[in-house]
Structure 1
Amino acid sequence: MSRCWKSRPRPSVRLCLPGLGSVVLRVLEVLWVSVCLVHSDSSVVVQKEAQFGVSYLDTVTSHNQTIYSFNHTVSRNKTEGVRVSVELLSETTKSPILFVIRQKQAVLSFQVPLILRGLYQRKYQYTQVGRTLCQPPTLVASETQFFYVDVSTLSSTSVHYQLRVSRVESFTLVFSTFFKYVFPDGVDTVIVKVNSEKNFPCSVMSIQDIQCPVYDLDNNVAFIGMYQTMTKKGAVTVQRKDFPSNSFYVVVVVKTEDEACGGPLKFYPLLPDELLDAGNRSKTLDVVVSPAINSEVYVMGMLFCLGIFLSFYVLTFLVACIENKRSVCDGLISKGLTPPSPYEYGSFGEFYVNFGVFIYLFIYCSCRSMDTVGRCRQESLSSVEEDDYDTLADIDSDKNIVRTKKYLCVSDLARKDKRVLNKKYQIYFWNISTIAVFYALPVIQLVITYQTVVNVTGNQDICYYNFLCAHPLGALSSFNNILSNLGYVMLGLLFLLIVLQRDILHNRALMRNDITALECGIPKHFGLFYAMGTALMMEGLLSACYHVCPNYTNFQFDTSFMYMIAGLCMLKLYQKRHPDINASAYTAYACLAAVIFFSVLGVVFGKGNTAFWIVFSVIHILATLLLSTQLYYMGRWKLDSGILRRMLYVIYTDCVRQCSGPMYIDRMVLLVMGNIVNWSLAAYGLIKRPNDFASYLLAIAICNLLLYFAFYIIMKLRSGERIRCLALVCILFTAVVWGFALFFFFQGLSTWQKTPAESREHNRDCILLSFFDDHDIWHFLSSIAMFGSFLVLLTMDDDLDTVQRDKIYVF
């Protein structure tokens, strides 16, 4: 049944013309209304009672308007979608057809052809458009609702179109343009996973609250809710507390272009009025909504994390008890006394004796040494300056004579006053503490801002999470990635406590003029160890900050203190045998600042920039040569205008006039290998130009550290020294842990070098306790491996504690 009538609008226009009488005004108004009525008499409105599942082929012009009336029964306990599909049949039309859908609580309008804008304001037109209507809520068990589809145009010629309205059965959890999900009882968090077999076309997945109309176009899908671009994979964790209606829509929209997902940028002539054909852009998707983990899994994850690292505190305590018992027994035996038998106390008695002895000695050492340490520090800060005087003996006042001997001993390079060196190396700790404060505060502020922007805008493309294993807690989107960094902080603090204990015991030995502490073993300076422990704790803090919102702009937060750790470890290795000539804290941190500066430049400008890579490779090679020269000549050379003349003279005397080998064979072997490695890395960077410049720079630092460490171990064994059991266990344990850690590191669950959609292709599910992913395990293992590496540096020369320094070789 259809009805037809003529619309007769009655416009009223009043003209204000000064000087004209009311009669003239009335005549003009009557004439205007008459013209409007004549024009409107030609506009015809036709209303049709329409049916679901029927295709209507019709025409529309500026002189007629068609209204399709639909009714359907809506049940409170059943969710059903309605799909409106429209196709433009006329090949050319100057004016689009306007479709207005009037529902109970919403109005939805769109035009065909539909014009959407892409990159660089390119315009794409769609002649086939389908929209899914939202279901208005009903309070009764069953209700008949009406909606109307109004079709109109301003085209003077007839425009042909096809309209079809169909029901979408099983609207819940079956892909349409969007679908609805209702939280079941007892489920507070769910994860929505969307999978596709092909990468393109690029799509957008959006989570929106239940409201009409639904924003399901490329140009409005980001207006509300949470959204993310996707190719093959997409995942969003949704919490009930964010949706008062206890339900939400999952909207999937195909974008007009693929550049947002890393697709190719097609070249088109940029004509201002040109419309581009959108083509057949469709995608088949699988949508799965499953309950996320509950609070018990959160608790288990946190207890597991704490348990792992607290066990290292317990293990350290037990080792300290054993070492303390052995030292007490050795002292009693040296005095002719017999230590009590374990059977005298029983198993529990022995434990409490060890526990009591350890606590007593630790408190006693601390109390007795605080005054001593304080006085020593006060003297070093107030009365002793390194540049005030040279502490070399008068007979050996020429440093060139001492430091250029063919075979050097530690006593030759440990001649300066201990107070001077203590002050010099304590500056490392105070400087890195200052750097940490001024670096961490703006970082924390920035990542809080990032997380706030993500939560407010709903843009899931800002942060590169592993969305398949990202468990939110409060305002944090991925709490598990932050929690797993706890190991760096706890193990860094434990290392500081171990160093503090050694520092206290060593100061007590110096106060009682122990000849072994004064003249034997590697000179003990703990400032660099304190700096290393602090750097490990800061690595945990900044890595946690980075994982609040990992992305392209803040990756250097995660790597800055890694550079410092690598640099401090190399400095500590060098300091062991060269305490007098090691770099000062100001020089060392200035060099590390330059490294971080290049890291930032590489991240910003390094991608595909040939000029940058050439400059960096040249600087890398020159820095390697300068450092090699510094190490080979023990600092006894000058960089001035006469350096070229001296270099030519050395080449002439050593290579031309007489063919003699290098004077310092061991050092030359190390430096040649170091130059080969660094020149190779420079060539690799120049040829390959890796996108992840920060990781490339970190690889350079780690390779140099491993090379120097291997050289140190080989030379130590070659010099007839031995490695004690504890240090050997630490070396083997650390090597194994590093191997497993690197395996999990290279799994690559996300990558900020690509687009967010491409990064999600690498996302994977949790593998540990349904709470931690591969990268979390990397955090666990790498923190343990770094702690073990620090222990190796701390204990590897314990076998020399009773050896005279003039019998310990320098290498």
Structure 2
Amino acid sequence: MVLRSCWKSRHKNSGGPAPCWIRPGLVAVLCLCVIQIGCGSGAVGETKNVVQKDAEFDVTYNDTVTSENQTIYAFNHTVSRNKTEGVRVSVLSQLSESPILFVVRQKQAVLSFQVPLILRGLYQRKYPYNHVARTLCQPPTRAASETQYFFVDVSTLSTQGTNYQLRVSRVESFTLQTNKKFTFTASPSQPQYFKYVFPDGVDTVIVKVNSDMNFPCSVMSIQDIQCPVYDLDNNVAFIGMYQTMTKKGAITVQRKDFPSNSFYVVVVVKTEDEACGGPLRFYPLRPDELIDAGNRSKVLDVMVSPAINSEVYVMGMLFCLGIFLSFYLLTLLVACLENKRMSKKRELFQNPADMSPAETASLLGKNGDGKTPASPYEYGSFADNGSTLSSEAITDSATSTDNNYGYMERSLDSVGRSRQESLSSVEEDDYDTLDDIDSDKNIVRTKKYLCVSDLARKDKRVLSKKYQIYFWNIATIAVFYALPVIQLVITYQTVVNVTGNQDICYYNFLCAHPLGALSAFNNILSNLGYVLLGLLFLLIVLKRDIVHNRALVRNSLNALECGIPKHFGLFYAMGTALMMEGLLSACYHVCPNYTNFQFDTSFMYMIAGLCMLKLYQKRHPDINASAYTAYACLAMVIFFSVLGVVFGKGNAAFWIVFSVIHILATLLLSIQLYYMGRWRLDSGILRRMVYIVYTDCIRQCSGPMYIDRMVLLVMGNIVNWSLAAYGLIERPNDFASYLLAIAICNLLLYFAFYIIMKLRSGERIQCLALVYILFTAVVWGFALYFFFQGLSTWQKTPAESREHNRDCILLSFFDDHDIWHFLSSIAMFGSFLVLLTMDDDLDTVQRDKIYVF
């Protein structure tokens, strides 16, 4: 009816029916009628009084508004192209069920808000604010100077008069200055934002917002210069880059992302603190219940500083390359010195007449009486080169006339197998063909004192193939593991760049230098050491492998029957794992967070497991685990790592199950190591256990037959049971690091046992290996210091993680975690060299005189 009356009045005033060509204007007439209805004119017979006032800045207007009157405040100010002034509208009113609507009309924008302002939090809880202050956006002007007008309309539908206070003022320091700190106060209903213009010659800046207050939680945002500005809790994440913060916040901004060469720094205080790790407020009793927000004002300061330039990037990359390429040069130098020393040694072998008898005896590893020690505990008097030979070996060396290099060789007949036979294909099952092979194994492996020759009886070609599988398996694993990881982190980085959500990735934002699409290039670059040093280790192993194979071709006695059996498959696997650790760590640091942390630790488990297997293989080459069994166990470890990250946080059931599995695995491994694999897990295991306890503990109290192994296993069980109890009681949030700590503790325990037993057996550590050990220990100490600095942590919220952020400390490019990458890669490389060289003193000792432990 109202629309019909509006149309009739328009039709009557027109003097007759509207022609056809006018009828399309029906839409415009209807819109005009709707406007009249909205204003209360003609619809309900009421007339609203509209009063317009010329207003001034920095004047407080106290007034009353009802549904019958509307007030418009007219302001004008001069805008200069070279100077931007902020304008802030502040309104204070009493809390009322009928809000007052404030509409600010500008030349290029309209801003509207109600008082009390209702902001929603988690679970749609509502928080009213009666004091609202908003900054008007200032679009750029083309003229050198112009006068702009804007109007503040005040209206309400309440029939009762509502008092309010209105004040419009200019914002001091609206444009931020480079390297100049500015302090301000913000609240959920009184957000703040400021403008920054890139100065000439500066392409990248870091915006830092700090506060002495943890809470209330706040959000800092970087937005382009446009209207409207999204400066409320419910819309600040719509555009630009943003991140939550408690005490610290930092965002790196590049000029290329802002065509206007300027941007807004927006700071909004959130209505609730859950996003920053704060407590969750009580749930309202009724859905429409308003919750008192209390005082949520926060004092903050903002400062914009220029980021590093391209020269610092170049210096950082050259430094990283220089550090690790120097290891290649150092390795080449050591190889040259070693070759020179070996050349002199060959000359001494070829000219024994130039040596005194004492020097000859010392070089050949003989004691003063000309005898060679026979017991593993009796050959402690090692010569300078750490060699001990039997009289047969010395005789073979002395009678060898066709050896131009001084290597001790013997004929094909003395080797016991023809060259043609050794080249034939052989399988591991070919060895176990006798019916009494199991009893033979029991006799050999259960002796009280074992020598390496007892556990190196299998054909070397079979074992070589067996251990090469380690390398090929880990290479296959690396390919199938790395490809989806790379795809995933590229997706993560794309999401961060598109959405602008800086809470997805846990960077050290105070030292995160972008390059291209990457947000923290320095954290990725510092992983280069793992790749380069892993490759260098593979080259060193390859060189040793070639030298050993050449010695086998010459039928060298040292290569065939002396020293620890040379199997390089595990070393190749270790080098490959080190390279993959660098690649996956770099992938993790593309966007570090709790969902992809296992990328950074998976190959750390691999490295720890391979190192323990290599230590065990040195003295037990015949009974070491196969590649399939080893990688299956490591796969279970990684599987539990993922479960721990997803379900382990505070889940008692998960920790109980894991602790039980951990203890059972420790016991089973202890039995396997103690009996050298000569036990069976079947239905009669309990009966045999009871029988052993009865005969060895009850019937007669006899000590363990293998004292050394028992000491190691008791210590290992104490350590692992303690770690299991710690995990069950404390339930650490970082389950992946807890699992890695278990692996490292076991590795260090076994390595310490190996060194102690090696020295206790009369063996010694050569000078070069000793240097590696001391160097590696020192580097590990410094590396762990930087690791525990904790620049970020995904165990907490992103805002809490940023509280640990720190500035760069090396070349203004690398932070503490980057130095951890440098030092840990060097320390791992040194650890590998220790495993490679620690038994070089046994290269001329017959295997039946090398003790097994």
State the TM-score, normalizing by the size of structure 1.
0.90
Equivalent residue pairs, number: 754
Runs of 4+ in structure 1 over 4 Å off:
8-11, 31-36, 376-382, 391-397
> Which residue identity lines up with residue 480 of structure 2 in the other structure?
F
Contact 1:9 1:40 in 2 (8 A): no
CA distance in 1, matches of 2:260, 2:83: 16
- 1:566-585 correspondence to structure 2 within 5 Å: 566-585=608-627
Cross-structure match for 1:71: 76
1:539–1:270 distance in 2 versus 1, CA, 3 Å: farther
Seen in structure 2, the aligned counterparts of structure 1 residues 38 and 196 have a Cα distance that, compared at 3 Å, is closer
In 1, the alpha carbon distance for the partners of 2:65 and 2:437 equals: 111
1:10 Cα shift?
8.6
Residue in structure 2 matched with residue 625 of structure 1 by the alignment: 667
Once residues 141 and 568 of structure 1 are traced to their aligned partners in structure 2, the CA distance between those partners, rounded to angstroms, is 72
The answer to whether the aligner puts 1:793 opposite 2:798 as a matched pair is: no
Aligned residue identity for 2:56: Q
Of 707, 718, 726, the residue aligned with 1:684 is: 726
Question: Within 5 A, what are the aligned runs for 1:255-654?
Answer: 255-336=270-351, 383-390=425-432, 398-654=440-696
Note the C-alpha offset of 1:391: 7.5
- Output one character per residue of 1:519-559: Cα deviation in whole Å (capped at 9) or x when no partner: 00000000000000000000000000000000010000000
Aligned residue number for residue 161 of structure 2:
158
1:368 counterpart residue number: none
CA contact (8 A) 2:139 2:225 kept: no
Matches within 5 A, 1:691-710: 691-710=733-752
**1:524 & 1:389 partners in 2: Cα distance?**
19
3-state DSSP class of the match of 1:720? coil
- Cα displacement (A) at 1:143: 1.1
In structure 1, what residue type is equivalent to 2:222? I
Report the alpha carbon displacement of residue 606 of structure 1 after superposing the two structures with TM. 0.6
Look up the equivalent residue of 1:777 and give its one-letter code: I
Is the CA contact 1:492–1:536 (under 8 Å) kept in the aligned structure 2?
A: yes
Give the distance between the partners of 2:8 and 2:453, measured in 1 at CA: 107
Could you tell me how far 1:298 is from its partner in structure 2?
A: 0.6
Checking the alignment, whether the CA contact within 8 Å between 2:125 and 2:284 is kept in structure 1 is no
C-alpha separation in 2, matches of 1:401 and 1:598: 39
Does the residue aligned with 1:83 lie in a helix, a strand or coil?
A: strand
Deviates more, 1:328-337 or 1:32-41: 32-41
The answer to whether structure 1 residue 132 and structure 2 residue 135 are counterparts is: yes
Measured in 1, the distance between the counterparts of 2:106 and 2:664 equals 74
Name the CA distance, whole Å, in 2 between partners of 1:303 and 1:520: 45
Deviations 1:745-769 (A, max 9, x none): 0000000000000000000000111
The structure-2 alpha-carbon separation of the partners of 1:794 and 1:202, relative to structure 1 and needing over 3 Å to count, comes to: same
Q: Deviations over 1:335-363 (max 9, x none)?
A: 33999xxxxxxxxxxxxxxxxxxxxxxxx
Deviation of 1:110 after TM superposition, in Å, equals 1.1
Q: 1:241-284 CA deviation, whole Å, 9 max, x = no partner?
A: 00000010000000000000000111133421111122221110
Deviates more, 1:58-67 or 1:490-499: 58-67
Change in 2 beyond 3 A, CA 1:259/1:378? farther
Query: Deviation per CA, 1:603-643, whole angstroms, max 9, x where unpaired?
Result: 11111111111111111111000000000000000111111
Q: Which residue pairs with 2:111 in the alignment?
A: 108
Instruction: Give the counterpart of 1:712 among 748, 751, 754.
Output: 754
1:208 aligns with 2:230: no
Please state whether the residue corresponding to 2:42 is helix, strand or coil.
helix
1 CA distance for matches of 2:317 and 2:158? 67
For the structure 1 residues 382 and 252, does the alpha-carbon distance in structure 2 shift closer, same or farther, using more than 3 Å as the test?
farther
Using the TM superposition, give the Cα deviation of residue 76 of structure 1 relative to its aligned residue in structure 2, in angstroms: 1.6
- The answer to whether the aligner puts 1:59 opposite 2:67 as a matched pair is no
Selected match of 2:269 from 242, 251, 254: 254
- Cα deviation for residue 397 of structure 1 reads 6.0
Distance 1:723 1:383 in 2: 37
Q: Tell me the amino acid that sits aligned with residue 218 of structure 2.
A: S
2:364 alignment counterpart = none
- In the alignment, which residue of structure 2 is the partner of 1:148? 151
**Mean CA deviation greater in 381-390 or 74-83:** 381-390
Shift of 1:295: 0.7
- Mapped contact 1:396–1:402 kept (Cα < 8 A): no
Contact 1:193 1:234 in 2 (8 A): yes
Spell out, residue by residue over 1:689-740, the C-alpha distance to the aligned partner (whole angstroms, 9 max, x if none): 1110000000000000000000000000000001000000000000000000
Deviation for aligned residue 1:378: 14
Q: Distance in 2 between matches of 1:641 and 1:716?
A: 38
TM-aligned CA deviation for residue 41 of structure 1: 4.2
Equivalent position of 2:807 in the other structure: 765
Question: Structure 1, unaligned stretches of length 5 or more?
Answer: 1-7, 15-21, 23-28, 340-375
CA contact (8 A) 1:390 1:416 kept: no
Give the aligned residue type for 2:543.
Q
Please say if residues 96 and 116 of structure 2, whose CA atoms lie closer than 8 Å, have aligned partners that are also in contact: no
Cα shift at 1:333: 3.4
Instruction: Give the drift of 1:159.
Output: 2.0
Instruction: Give, in whole Å, the separation in 2 of the partners of 1:619 and 1:627.
Output: 12
* Structure 2 residue 217 is the aligned partner of structure 1 residue 199: no
CA distance in 1, matches of 2:749, 2:431: 36
Whole-Å separation in 2 of the counterparts to 1:625 and 1:395? 27
Q: Matches of 1:598 and 1:415 in 2, distance apart? A: 37
Q: Distance in 1 between matches of 2:8 and 2:447?
A: 108
Aligned residue type for 2:55? A
Tell me the equivalent position of 1:5: none
Retained in 1: the 8 A contact 2:534–2:576? yes
CA distance in 2, matches of 1:13, 1:566: 90
Q: Encode CA deviations 1:576-625: one digit per residue, 9 max, x unaligned.
A: 00000000000000000000000111111111111111111111111000
Paired position in structure 2 for 1:753: 795
Q: Aligned with 1:275: secondary structure?
A: coil
Aligned equivalent of 2:26: none
Q: Does 1:87 align with 2:87?
A: no
Separation in structure 2 between the aligned mates of residue 331 and residue 712 of structure 1, nearest angstrom: 32
For the 8 Å contact 2:598–2:736, the answer to whether it is kept is yes
Aligned to 1:3: none
108, 121, 124: which one aligns with 2:124: 121
Equivalent in the alignment of 1:229: 244
Q: 1:656 aligns with which of 698, 712, 725?
A: 698
Q: CA deviation at 1:326?
A: 1.6
* Structure 1 stretch displaced more, 468-477 or 31-40: 31-40
Distance 1:555 1:157 in 2: 60
Q: Is the 8 A contact 2:88 2:134 kept in 1?
A: yes
Structure 2: segments with no counterpart, 5+ residues: 10-16, 18-29, 177-181, 185-191, 355-417
SS at match of 1:227: strand
Q: Distance in 2 between matches of 1:60 and 1:662?
A: 96
Alignment-derived partner of residue 168 in structure 1: 171
CA contact (8 A) 1:391 1:416 kept: no
Partners of 1:140 and 1:516 in 2: how far apart? Answer: 90
Distance 1:796 1:660 in 2: 35
Aligned-pair distance for 1:306?
Answer: 0.4
Identity across matched positions, percent: 86
Give the one of 30, 42, 48 matched to 1:43.
48
Distance 1:628 1:395, change over 3 A: closer
Normalization by structure 2: what TM-score? 0.86
What is the DSSP-based 3-state SS (H/G/I as helix, E as strand, rest coil) of the residue aligned with 2:298? Answer: coil
CA distance in structure 1 between the aligned counterparts of 2:537 and 2:145, rounded to whole angstroms? 69
CA distance in 1, matches of 2:707, 2:49: 103
Q: Which amino acid aligns with 2:82?
A: N
Q: Distance in 1 between matches of 2:47 and 2:328?
A: 91
Shift of 1:377: 15
